[in-house]
Amino acid sequence: MKKALKRGLYAVLLALLPFATGMAFGKTWVRILDFALLYVMLALGLNIVVGFAGLLDLGYVAFFAVGAYCYALLASPHFGLHLPFWLILPIGAFAAGIFGMLLGAPTLRLRGDYLAIVTLGFGEIIRIFLNNLDTPYNITGGPQGIDMIDPIRLGSFSLNQPTSHTVYSYYFLFLFFALATAFVSMRLQHSRIGRAWAAIREDEIAAEAMGINTRNVKLLAFAMGASFGGLSGGLFAGFEGFVSPESFTLMESIMILSMVVLGGMGHIRGVIFGAVLLSILPEALRYVGPIEQSLFGKIVVDPSSLRMLLFGLALILVMLLRPAGLWPSPARKRELLAHGETAKHENTNIYDAGR
Amino acid sequence: MMQDAKLLEVQNIGKTFGGLAALSGVSLSINRGEIYALIGPNGAGKTTLFNVLTGIYKPDSGNFRLEGVEMAGKKPSEMAKSGIARTFQNIRLFSNMSVIENVMVGRHCRTRGGVLGAILGSSRTRAEEKSISEKARHLLDYVGLARHAHMLARNLSYGDQRRLEIARALATEPKLLALDEPAAGMNPLETDSLKSLLETIRRDGITLLLIEHDVKLVMGICDRLAVLNFGKKIAEGEPSQVGSNPLVIEAYLGVS
Ligand SMILES: Nc1ncnc2c1ncn2[C@@H]1O[C@H](COP(=O)(O)OP(=O)(O)OP(=O)(O)O)[C@@H](O)[C@H]1O
Ligand SMILES: [Mg+2]
């Protein structure tokens, strides 16, 4: 009963949030909320790979790109295709999942730094492809990207009509999908598959010796994580109406990884918190410019460089003071308190297997 | 009919690292239902043989059969699936998972629940989850760790961690359970209760392969044993025969 009440309260709060935000700060901020929800989906997807299975991925934005371009190509004048969104979103998620496996397959034996570098390269390759696939055949639109993408339509109702309501209708659509991804993450975490992911994160050799086919389980983690990214990418394309390679840079991958790490790797609520925090805080720094202007009469520090500076500083501080993230899972907190050691597990050297 | 008594047959296994022959021409066979021990000085190749039998190393030569089925070259996960489970000399638990979760992971290869079932919470998946945790609970009871079910594995005492590794291996329903120095680091009291645990396991129909340095434990519990030295089998037989073998005495006293 109490739980139902609490849930109801959350539902009301989440439903009222955009309207309260819109009234208090204006529509720009509702738009920021929309993006925060997209980032929640991305962070939850990356959390499957990094948090659950313990595989570092620095190219995650590539899957976001795959989902976005899928949507753009299948619902825009670019190829003259106009498929409905409920068809494209799964296609995008599926395509991203395939790309996830494509990334996973050659990296199965890699861990730690090496995996990070290969995944980083993969992310860049996808972006560079998108940038250059406009000749000889114009597939991706090159650096200009693809525009005039169809808005998302529910039946005959376009979420972009009337234009003044766009940010609100997308808020609810994104909220639905963000909650769905959180739900799926939770179910997966507490399943046979989730335990297998945790096992390979803890000790790959022991996991394999206990009968877990680590190759399949890792590929599954890559595919699941990527499909969340693809889903989010499709929603992004429908919302923005425009995609170009610029949106899918390494910086984005790092941002999403920071959300996961800062929030609390492997802890779903922590990851959501990290995503919301890191998508909202940098926006708040936009106000620093005007404040400086009124205090000193001129801009002393450029707000955009201040953003990166503060972001880096915040990351360092969190890693020093709360190495398990701002909101770690209770178990992870216990373990860090009990032993002040964070990175003792990288000794998966085969030689070590029985000695 | 004679064949049926043999669970594992190892033939001429060889494994070299660089120039070092960690195993050369090792053959042995283990009968169903017995406790078979493997002893030998440090660096004799005992763990290497375990790593070969569990698929972590591929042997350079030779082969081995479990119930007549050729096994050499299979992946570790396939070995576990076919019925060879092991523990590790330097404990390899999933230290940041709870005790019961460690055992539940051991059920992985005997269960099938996939992504879709987990997401939808299908009744089949739920029933399977229930059976996994019941079985895990039962095994914790069996090895005497039930009261620690929800502790993190890393916080268990050394002896309990070794017991947990045994429970986790048992969860895979092995035909052959291979234990790499299960008594290492245990006090005499813990060693005693380990001994009775091993006897219970054998009584319940599981064949045991045991590497152990504690001579008293080995001699008291095993039916047969083999002695390795510099990668070669230098003796095999019942404890009383092997104990008086001059080659074995020499290996242990380190005459060279
Ligand atoms: N992966 C490897 N690479 C190189 N040498 C190895 C490797 N694994 C084992 N060895 C060597 O093979 C020999 C046998 O090692 P093994 O671990 O099997 O001995 P052991 O009988 O288990 O000894 P202990 O009683 O100390 O555990 C040793 O000389 C060891 O250094
Ligand atoms: Mg050894």
- Between the CA of B50 and the centroid of ligand 2 the distance, in Å, is 9
- In 3D, which of A271, A242, A234, A233 has the Cα closest to residue A62? A233
User: By CA distance, what is A333's nearest residue in B?
Assistant: B96
Is the Cβ atom of B22 under 6 angstroms away from ligand 1? Answer: yes
Classify residue B88: in a domain, yes or no.
Answer: no
Helix (H, G, I), strand (E, B) or coil at B113: coil
Q: pLDDT under 50 in chain B at which residues? A: 1-2, 256
> What is the Cα–Cα distance from B224 to B246, expressed in whole angstroms?
18
The mean pLDDT values, 10 residues at a time, for chain A of 355 residues are: 88 90 89 96 97 94 96 92 92 97 90 88 94 88 91 78 82 96 96 96 96 96 97 96 94 93 92 94 79 78 77 85 84 56 38 41
The residues pairing with A61 across neighbouring beta strands, listed in sequence order, are none
> For residues B208 and B35, is the Cβ–Cβ distance under 8 A?
yes
Q: Which of B103, B108, B164, B165 to mutate to test the interface with A (most CBs of A within 10 A)?
A: B108
Tokens of B233: 């089998």
Q: Which CATH class is domain A16-266?
A: mainly alpha
B235 to chain A, closest Cα gap in Å: 23
Whole-complex ipTM:
0.93
- Rounded to a whole number of angstroms, the distance from the CA of A275 to the nearest CA of chain B is 23
pLDDT of residue B222: 94
Q: Is the dihedral of CA A196, A201, A206, A212 positive or negative?
A: positive
Give yes or no: residues B168 and B182 share one domain: no
Q: Of B126, B142, B172, which one is at a domain's C-terminal end?
A: B172
For residues B64 and B178, membership in a common domain is answered with yes
Rounded distance from Cα B190 to ligand 2 centre (Å): 20
- Atom index in ligand 1 nearest the CA of residue B40 equals 21
B229 lines ligand 1 (CB under 6 A): no
**Both B150 and B190 in a single domain?**
no
B156 SS3 class: coil
Predicted pLDDT at B253: 66
Q: Residue B86: its chain A contacts at CB < 8 A?
A: 209
Q: Answer whether A335 sits within 8 Å of B48, measured CB to CB.
A: no
Quick one: pLDDT at residue B255? 54
The C-alpha R_g of chain B, in whole angstroms, comes to: 19
Per DSSP, the three-state class of B234 is strand
Cα-Cα end-to-end distance for chain B: 43
- Is B211 within a domain? yes
The residue out of B156, B172, B188 marking a domain boundary is B172
**Would residue B90 count as lying in a domain?**
no
Distance from C-alpha of B195 to C-alpha of B159, rounded to nearest angstrom: 12
- Both B182 and B78 in one domain: the answer is yes
Q: B1: distance to nearest CA of chain A, Å?
A: 31
Q: Nearest CA to CA, how far is B172 from chain A (Å)?
A: 7
pLDDT of amino acid A345: 38
Answer yes or no: do B217 and B250 share one domain.
yes
**Which pTM value belongs to this model?**
0.91
Cα B81 → chain centroid: 14
Q: Is residue B124 included in any domain, yes or no?
A: yes
CATH of the domain at B235: 3.40.50.300
Name the phi and psi angles at B37, rounded to 5: -105, 155
CB-based contact A246:A228 (threshold 8 Å)? no
Place of tokens 């991203």: A96
> CA-CA distance, A259 to A327, in Å (whole number)?
11
* Surrounding residues of ion ligand 2, Cβ less than 5 A: B 47, 89
Give the residue whose CA is nearest to atom 9 of ligand 1. B48
Structural domain count of chain B: 2
For chain A, report the end-to-end CA distance as a whole number of angstroms. 53
**3-class state of residue A157 by DSSP:** strand
Q: How far apart are CA A202 and CA B237, in angstroms?
A: 40
CA of B42 to the centre of ligand 2 (A): 7
Q: Are B65 and B254 in contact (CB under 8 A)?
A: no
Residue position matching structure tokens 């074995």:
B248
Check residue B148 and give its pLDDT: 94
> Inter-chain contact B47–A224, Cβ cutoff 8 Å?
no
- What is the domain range of residue B163? 95-172
Note whether residue B50 is domain-resident: yes
Q: What is the pLDDT of residues B202-221, one digit of tens each?
A: 999 999 999 998 888 898 99
If you compute the radius of gyration of chain A from its CA atoms, what whole number of angstroms results? 21
Asked if residue B89 belongs to a domain, the reply is: no
Same domain, B223 and B156: no
Ligand at minimal distance from the CA of B39 is: 1
Provide the H-helix boundaries in chain A.
2-25, 27-47, 61-74, 85-104, 112-132, 166-189, 192-202, 204-209, 214-240, 250-263, 268-284, 288-296, 303-321, 330-338
Best CA proximity match to B72, nearest among B54, B95, B50:
B54
pLDDT of B56 reads: 95
CA distances B3 to A177, B30, B89, Å, are 60, 11, 31
B46 lines ligand 1 (CB under 6 A): yes
Q: Which of B119, B133, B166 to mutate to test the interface with A (most CBs of A within 10 A)?
A: B119
Q: DSSP letter string over B172-209? A: T--SEEEEESTTTT--HHHHHHHHHHHHHHHHTT-EEE
Q: Do B88 and A195 touch (CB under 8 A)?
A: no
Asked if the structure places residue B230 within a domain, the reply is yes
